[in-house]
Structure 1
Amino acid sequence: MTVFTLLLIGAFAGLTTVLFGFGGGFVTVPVIVWADAAVGSDAVMIAVATSALVMVVNAAIATAATPVAVLERLRGRGVLLLLLTLGGLCGAVVATAVPAAVVSWGFVAYLAVTIVDVSVRPGFFSRATQDGSPRGTVRIPSSFGLPIGAVASLLGVGGSVMTVPLLRRSGLPMSEATALANPLTLAISLPASLAFMVLPHAAPVHAPFLSVGIVDIGAAALLLAGSIPVIVLLRRRPLPIPESVHAGTYLALLLTVLGAMIASLW
């Protein structure tokens, strides 16, 4: 895969980070699977590990640029963030020990379940009615933190795929749900990326520039070179998107990445 292609996809990852809270990892897993196809089935392990690093940087920049009033929604949710962090670490450890096929098809299966969930269950396309909690409260149970973090880092789906639907059902608009997905993604991806760098794994990394552990630093750097300017620009000049269009595009992206991942595995 050419340098220009990775830069272009990085720019798209930056766009999805700001607009959908994906952090970039969710988008880049199928891309890196293609880029490292020479290593065979282990390419997905390299993709998941590399995407974790991309998510750390993108989510950190997006979080830093998020209005304080939005981040205040997470006040008092320290236990949730701690369990997301622990889950992210556990998922990465498991990922280094399971067969690549488990991660590949687990990624596909989880996306498929999520697509059905947001399409069928109420609360995603129309904001959930309040149940007595203060408006805008992040009603993700703290106990969900460990499994969310573990699944997100194990499969490389990113925190947003799991948290945005939950945040929407907390009654938040898409703009706030996707913005809050970035700090949650950061909590998951930081320990995961460190684990992927230091833990041993049999996957051979054929990185043209540099690799650390099973992280393809060269691919990550090119993706970040494309994504960071887009994140900075869109945080300074946000795009007004109607609520229904925002939610519909989120679902369309899930479908697109699902198709791309299936295509990369055949």
Structure 2
Amino acid sequence: MHLPIDLNLLLLAFGGLAGLTTVLFGFGGGFVAVPLLYAMFTAVGTAPAQAMHVAVATSTAVMIVGAGFASLRHARAGTLDMGQLRPLILPVSLGAVIGARAAISFGGEGLRAAFIAYLGLTILDCLFRPGFMTRAARPARPMRRRATALIGLGIGAVAAFLGVGGSVMTVPLLRRRGADMTTATAMASPLSLPMAVAGTIGYVGLAEGATGQVDAGAFLALAIGSTIGVRLSAPLIGRLPDRLHARAYLVLLTLVLVVMVLL
């Protein structure tokens, strides 16, 4: 499965956009890469079911690059809370392997429907449940170890299953626990990194072929673009007003939802 050179150049440009959304919103690039790759592969004649599988697997692999560099940028900016991160890393990684295995066994059209449904539910939850649009006045008590493990497993499994990174779950969660948007989105990148590594190992190791369901050419173009995007957007860390940051997060999720419905 190979894309024409002009489409690879487009992937390079959108990789830059993915890098920007990774730094500012913790999306890990998946919300940019999955719809784009799905549209491209179906446009060149790939069956929709196969196209969705490859889009999710390739997006997960690209997140290793984007989330890795974004985590370094946030660490330098001092926006990471390692006390909240450490207990989640192992369960997120284990959940990612489960999610990747489930995605390989799941029908492509069903995977697309799950992607759309999850986006829709997340948007509605952020809009109508208190604590996201306006920062919580008091942070909640720290989660217990068992709750942290279960939440981490869920984040990793859903993120790898849909190829979107952990932001769609971690940002609303941390937001409702009193974090500002800069901190909440910063925490999503280092959690997306172990998820992306574990998920990619699952996609490569559990599927047929040398790279499994990851398209090497598309991965390379998106990864290069993502690295450039992360570098260019790093100076914007912490510069967006909190309420505007939250609104922009939801606008981007809604845009991706509309695109996926129309494809």
TM-score by length of 1: 0.88
Task: Confirm whether residue 75 of structure 1 aligns to residue 106 of structure 2.
Answer: no
- The structure with more helix, counted as a fraction of residues: 2
Contact 1:89-1:195 at 8 Å conserved across structures:
yes
Q: Which residue of 2 aligns with 1:34?
A: 39
Distance 2:179 2:85 in 1: 16
Alignment-mate amino acid for residue 249 of structure 2? Y
Distance 2:136 2:125 in 1: 14
CA deviation digits over 1:132-181, x for unaligned, max 9?
648xxxxx833211112111111223210111111111111111111110
Contact 2:59-2:164 at 8 Å conserved across structures:
no
CA drift of 1:239 comes to 6.6
Percent of aligned pairs with the same amino acid: 42
Q: Which residue of 2 aligns with 1:137?
A: none
Task: Confirm whether residue 155 of structure 1 aligns to residue 162 of structure 2.
Answer: yes
Alignment of 1:141-152 (within 5 A): 141-152=148-159
Alignment-mate amino acid for residue 84 of structure 1? V
CA drift of 1:86 comes to 0.2
Distance 2:84 2:223 in 1: 31
Does 109-118 or 94-103 show the bigger shift?
94-103
Q: Which residue of 2 aligns with 1:115?
A: 123
Alignment-mate amino acid for residue 16 of structure 1? T
TM-score by length of 2: 0.89
Alignment-mate amino acid for residue 185 of structure 1? S
The secondary structure found in structure 2 opposite 1:42 is helix
The secondary structure found in structure 2 opposite 1:152 is helix
Pairwise CA RMSD: 1.9
- Unaligned runs of at least 5 residues, structure 1: 135-139, 206-210
Distance 2:179 2:73 in 1: 19
Q: Which residue of 1 aligns with 2:246?
A: 247
Task: Confirm whether residue 55 of structure 1 aligns to residue 55 of structure 2.
Answer: no
Q: Which residue of 1 aligns with 2:193?
A: 186
Distance 1:242 1:132, change over 3 A: closer
Alignment-mate amino acid for residue 95 of structure 2? G
Q: Which residue of 1 aligns with 2:202?
A: 195
Distance 1:122 1:93 in 2: 34
Distance 1:239 1:147, change over 3 A: closer
2:21 to 16, 22, 27: 16
